């Protein structure tokens, strides 16, 4: 995917970092966040935060709603989270 300036945009490289920031900002443990997102294991949160796995569209939307951020803020590395 390229942006309007001709450079390539690599979405989601920072998703895990953003998820960790949001989780800690709200004082949630990995277990609590896993329960909120309907994951059976908190290990999935660890895998998301470290970039070992990428979230499904459904989970990106759930994260955005839970933390009151936009999906664009989560998906596009150049957009900061508030």
pLDDT tens digits, one per residue of 14-70: 999 999 999 999 999 999 999 999 999 999 999 999 999 999 999 999 999 999 999
**Alpha carbon distance 82, 42 (integer Å):** 25
What separation in angstroms does the CA of 74 have from each of 6, 19, 36, 40, 80?
Answer: 22, 8, 17, 22, 8
- Would you state the pLDDT for residue 1? 46
Alpha helices in the chain (DSSP H): 15-25, 30-36, 43-50, 57-67, 71-75
Comparing CA positions, the residue from 53, 77, 73 lying closest to residue 64 is: 73
């Amino acid at each position: 995917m390229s942006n309007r300036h001709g450079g390539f945009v690599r979405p989601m490289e920072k998703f895990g970092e953003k998820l960790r920031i949001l989780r800690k900002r709200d004082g949630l443990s990995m277990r609590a966040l896993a329960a909120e997102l309907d994951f059976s294991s908190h290990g999935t949160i660890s895998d998301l935060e470290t970039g070992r796995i990428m979230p499904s569209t459904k989970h990106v939307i759930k994260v955005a709603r839970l933390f009151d951020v936009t999906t664009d803020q989560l998906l596009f590395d150049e957009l900061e989270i508030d």
